[in-house]
Chains A and B, each alone.
Chain A
Amino acid sequence: MSLEQRTGSSRQQSLRPGRLAAWAVLIVLIALTLFPFYWILRTALSTNASLFTGDVGLLPPDATLVNFRRVLGLASPEEIAAAGGAGVTFDFWLYLRNSLIVSTLITIGQVTFCAMAAYAFARLRFPGRDALFYLFLSALMIPPVFILIPNFLFLNSLGLLDTFAAVVAPFIFMTPFTVFFLRQFFLGINTQVEEAAKLDGAGHVQLFTRIVVPIMAAPLSTAAILTFILSWNEYMWPLVVGQDPSVRVLTVALSLFRAGSPQAAPDWTGLMTATFLAAVPIIVLFLVLGRRVVDGIQFSGVK
């Protein structure tokens, strides 16, 4: 709905300066939001030596792809030595693979199981349904750190530390939010098609797989994107149970890269290149599916 529709054009005329000022503020805020993304990329394209020259022009003084080659494992040992990457190795492809495995497993499991639960809560009738739903929902209030310790001790006692099973375990079955999010959508869709299929003798499993899931494709994919992004960004849990390189995800790897860097001459350009690359999958996902993400977040707020 535009302002014209809301307030009428006569008022709009008198508001011109105010609107212009508001636009100016908004544009400054957008610039402030985007600048760090640009700066991280600029640093990734610089040499470590040039950072000390005080040249802060918009383009790096001697633009280079050497940092990307270094982080992606394509650079020769001489190049690495010349670039000043003080001995910290960063096995980007391995950590990328780990992040992809973890986020994909969590997304598939969580969305499937939460959709099933949401269907049961929205469509089926059984005693204790609402009580169970509110019990699920109350878990939204639990601070992650509170269950972090018992969950760590649990997986430790099972001998599962430093396995993919441990890294995905608390998220792959459900999160209260995803159940809640999908249930709201299930309640919102028309039941006519389902009723008709029921009369034709379809069971609940058929109803769910043949009718409800296709109708719900849009919200299910929104839930999948949000779940993927949140699991990609997860840090505290994998830090506790998955530091071993074989299961180390990108967030943990970046943090350990920083922790291992020398105080005297940190490899800023290498660190910023790795940091930039860790955000790239999210940014790409967002460029392709941004509208869905924005709508999903707005929806979660209204409810």
Chain B
Amino acid sequence: MRNEASAPAAAPAAAPAAAPSRQQYGLWYQVKHSDMSVAMMFLLPSLLGFVLFYLWPALRGIWLSFTEFNLLRQTSTFIGLGNYQAMAADPLFWHSMRVTLLYVVINITIQTILALAIAVMMDRLTQSVVIRGIMVLPWLIPQVVVGLLWLWMLDPSLGIVNEFLQAIGIPAQPFLGSPDQVVPALAGINIWRHTGYTALLLFAGLQTIPGDLYEAAGVDGASEWNMFWRITMPLLRPVLALVLVITVVGSFQVFDVVHVATGGFGGTPGGPANASLVIYLYIFRQAFNFNNFGYAAAMATVLFLLLVGVAFIQMKLLRGSQSDLA
């Protein structure tokens, strides 16, 4: 298991490096004496998909953000920074950013601590692939299923969670039906869904820490607690940084569960009273309910830049690209 997972890690060293002497020749010589024609054939389908559904829409998305798009006439009118000015003055945009941030903070804090604890426990107790499989199962099923499942379990009157709370003497809670509880409830749902997956990624990182470090520390009489802070944490840091970037950036993009589990039956997703209007949902609403494609594209552009910034700052702060192991 361990070898399977870590073997490709050493692989890039074996990559066929271009012969240095090639640099001296012209481009045409390089093209003629390379695998250019074969490569084009192998790359054609994916290149087509990349250009049509990633590169071109990314560029068009930026362009759209400076326009007002008319869906019926299929025309876009350039309005400069109009959408961005509207965004700055739109209280719902700022509200949705605050809602999203609250969700991210609750979700990431609890999820990361819990996942780290689970990963360490699995690493120290068992190599069972069955246990790891169970842990990751909630992440594998559709988020729509997760959302509906918890919509039922958290139902204010019939849900099993309230039955349980009442059994131990706590009054029934409205959860998804309350403006104050809906965001923590959504974060809780995602913690159930995502913690096992995060734990699995961290577990894979723990497996790369040489066992004899713990052995030596054990001989020196170090406690489990000391080993965690002196060995595990420093050596896990690059993996932890990467996992945090993935989970934080992913968490900002919460959509599926909010879309199916909020607003109640027949209500508008994002409810009650926009209390769970996360940024993805607001962008979605502006685009597909109100046909404000230019405005939605502007918000999506801002979100894109924000996420790139968040990822960059996190990697800097956590020095994610450097390892202490070497």
A254-B144 in contact given A204-B38, A291-B129, A297-B200 (Cβ < 8 Å): yes
Task: Give a binary string over A80-98; 1 marks a CB under 8 Å from any B CB, 0 the rest.
Answer: 0000000000000000000
A150 contacts the other chain (Cβ, under 8 Å)? yes
A30 contacts the other chain (Cβ, under 8 Å)? yes
B163 engages A54 (CB within 8 Å)? yes
B148 contacts the other chain (Cβ, under 8 Å)? yes
Nearest residue (CB) in B for A298 is B204
A139 engages B142 (CB within 8 Å)? no
A232 contacts the other chain (Cβ, under 8 Å)? yes
B133 contacts the other chain (Cβ, under 8 Å)? yes
Inter-chain CA distance A184–B150, complex, in Å, is 37
Q: Please name all residues of chain A whose beta carbon is closer than 8 Å to the beta carbon of B153 when the two chains form the complex.
A: 36, 39
Stretch at the interface among B42-50, B77-85, B89-97, B101-109: B42-50
Inter-chain CA distance A278–B142, complex, in Å, is 8
B136 engages A139 (CB within 8 Å)? no
A30 engages B43 (CB within 8 Å)? no
B215 engages A7 (CB within 8 Å)? yes
B87 contacts the other chain (Cβ, under 8 Å)? no
Inter-chain CA distance A172–B45, complex, in Å, is 9
Q: Please name all residues of chain B whose beta carbon is closer than 8 Å to the beta carbon of A255 when the two chains form the complex.
A: 144, 259-260
B56 engages A291 (CB within 8 Å)? no
B34 engages A127 (CB within 8 Å)? yes
Partner of A278, one of B38, B133, B145, B252: B145
A299 contacts the other chain (Cβ, under 8 Å)? yes
Nearest residue (CB) in B for A190 is B14
B288 engages A150 (CB within 8 Å)? no
Task: List B residues 274-324 near A (Cβ within 8 Å).
Answer: 280, 283-284, 287-288, 293, 296-297, 300-301, 303-304, 307-308, 311
B181 contacts the other chain (Cβ, under 8 Å)? no
B152 contacts the other chain (Cβ, under 8 Å)? yes
A113 engages B49 (CB within 8 Å)? yes
Inter-chain CA distance A44–B308, complex, in Å, is 43
B208 contacts the other chain (Cβ, under 8 Å)? yes
Partner of A204, one of B7, B42, B43, B143: B42
Nearest residue (CB) in A for B264 is A263
Q: Please name all residues of chain A whose beta carbon is closer than 8 Å to the beta carbon of B48 when the two chains form the complex.
A: 173
CB distance from B242 to the nearest CB of A (A): 8
B163 engages A147 (CB within 8 Å)? no
A295-B1 in contact given A40-B149, A188-B7 (Cβ < 8 Å): yes
B45 engages A116 (CB within 8 Å)? yes
A149-B300 in contact given A173-B49, A271-B152 (Cβ < 8 Å): yes
Partner of B253, one of A51, A143, A203: A143
A6 engages B215 (CB within 8 Å)? yes
Partner of A169, one of B53, B134, B141: B53
Inter-chain CA distance A11–B121, complex, in Å, is 17
A164 contacts the other chain (Cβ, under 8 Å)? no
Partner of A141, one of B127, B151, B311: B311
Partner of B219, one of A8, A22, A229, A271: A8
A113 engages B45 (CB within 8 Å)? yes
Nearest residue (CB) in A for B144 is A251
B42 engages A124 (CB within 8 Å)? yes
B110 contacts the other chain (Cβ, under 8 Å)? no
A120 engages B265 (CB within 8 Å)? no
Inter-chain CA distance A240–B289, complex, in Å, is 11
CB distance from A275 to the nearest CB of B (A): 5
A39-B74 in contact given A113-B45, A204-B35, A236-B255 (Cβ < 8 Å): no
A301 contacts the other chain (Cβ, under 8 Å)? yes
A151 contacts the other chain (Cβ, under 8 Å)? yes
A3 engages B125 (CB within 8 Å)? yes
Partner of A302, one of B5, B144, B224, B297: B5
CB distance from A219 to the nearest CB of B (A): 9
B205 contacts the other chain (Cβ, under 8 Å)? yes
B42 engages A119 (CB within 8 Å)? yes
Task: List A residues 28-52 near B (Cβ within 8 Å).
Answer: 29-30, 32-34, 36-37, 39-40, 43, 51-52
B273 contacts the other chain (Cβ, under 8 Å)? no
CB distance from A250 to the nearest CB of B (A): 8
Task: List A residues 121-157 near B (Cβ within 8 Å).
Answer: 122-127, 129, 132, 135-136, 139, 141-154, 156-157
Task: List B residues 207-245 near A (Cβ within 8 Å).
Answer: 207-208, 211-212, 214-215, 218-219, 224, 239, 242-243
Beyond known contacts A34-B137, A251-B144, A302-B208: 17 more, CB 8 A cutoff:
A1-B127, A30-B131, A143-B253, A145-B283, A146-B58, A146-B297, A149-B300, A153-B60, A169-B52, A188-B7, A203-B38, A254-B260, A255-B259, A258-B151, A282-B140, A294-B200, A297-B197
What would be 29 A-B contacts, judged by CB atoms less than 8 Å apart?
A: A1-B2, A15-B224, A33-B137, A37-B137, A116-B43, A117-B46, A123-B16, A149-B57, A149-B300, A154-B52, A154-B57, A156-B71, A173-B46, A173-B49, A174-B49, A188-B11, A203-B38, A254-B144, A259-B265, A261-B266, A275-B148, A278-B145, A282-B141, A286-B140, A290-B133, A295-B5, A297-B201, A301-B200, A301-B204
Q: Tell me the B residues contacting A by CB distance below 8 Å.
A: 1-2, 4-12, 14-16, 18, 27, 30-31, 34-36, 38-39, 41-43, 45-50, 52-58, 60-61, 64, 69, 71, 74, 117-118, 121-122, 124-127, 129-138, 140-145, 148-153, 155, 158, 160, 163, 192, 196-197, 200-205, 207-208, 211-212, 214-215, 218-219, 224, 239, 242-243, 252-253, 255-256, 259-260, 264-267, 280, 283-284, 287-288, 293, 296-297, 300-301, 303-304, 307-308, 311
Closest 7 CB pairs of A and B: A173-B49, A301-B201, A150-B57, A188-B8, A188-B11, A298-B204, A174-B46
